[in-house]
Amino acid sequence: MTGYNTGIKRCTLLSVLITALSFITGCLHLSTASAPAVQDPCKEVKALAEKATHFAKQVPYTSALAAITRAATDKKEHAVSFGCMSNDSVIYSTVSNGAVNTATVPVIAHRFADLHNHPEDRPPSSGDFYHFIDQAKANNGQYQKFIVLPNGTQYALVLVDATAAEAFNIRFPRVRGIRNTLDQMQYQPTFPKALVEEINQLKGWHGATEETAMALILQKYNTGVALLKKDADGNFRKVYTMEKEKGGARTYTTYTCSD
């Protein structure tokens, strides 16, 4: 998502669809403790990826995904929020209708995840990242953000280390996005100038894709946040970037974690 409408609409009882589904492990009950340092870039995210995979195969998610896919034919962003009730059943909001680069993330009781589309085939943005940190902090780490692209690619942002995420948020505070006063729309916050320039250099000088650049920024600066991508088998797996240097030239390659 590349922006957020500040005029958030609250869901009413009529605008919330309630499912009878219950998760065996609950509604994404994640640990809020800081993750221990590990050498394996995949090991620390394995359980979180499994949670994302499990949830994305359930009726609330697949129904919301279908609704957003239908709405996205207008080439604009749309979003759905998911809430967890006391009996571990999942509720989800109606689809919010946004603009080309922004959409309202609906308010819903006990929200633990949201899903939105990007009108272009672009991975999670800086706005998605900062909004995710805010929501994860507000929900004691129990939050996941899902993004679907026109080509069917699905991403997720998950919290690996709450302390690291908070430290990054302080060290690299967001830059406020522009505001469209005519449409009353507040566009996404961006990374600070230094990080924006680094991302542009990665793409312009080294031929990195946006996915490669985002994954590198997340790991290089110890953001405490991991980028997941859904594979052909329907499993979310961490995306990470490796840097190689040969003959003074740097190359960046993106990999996904295996089992």
The two tokens of residue 250 are 């740097």
Contact 257, 49 (CB under 8 A): yes
Domain map of the chain by residue range?
Answer: 3-199+214-240
Contact 202, 142 (CB under 8 A): no
Higher pLDDT, 147 or 189: 147
The three-class DSSP label of residue 132 is: helix
- The model's pLDDT over 249-259, given as tens digits with 9 standing for 90+, comes to 889 999 999 86
The two tokens of residue 225 are 């946040």
Lowest mean pLDDT among 30-34, 58-62, 118-122, 150-154: 30-34
What is the value of pTM for the model shown? 0.83
Residue from 241, 214, 224 nearest 169 by CA? 224
- The model's pLDDT over 153-183, given as tens digits with 9 standing for 90+, comes to 999 999 999 999 999 999 999 998 666 666 5
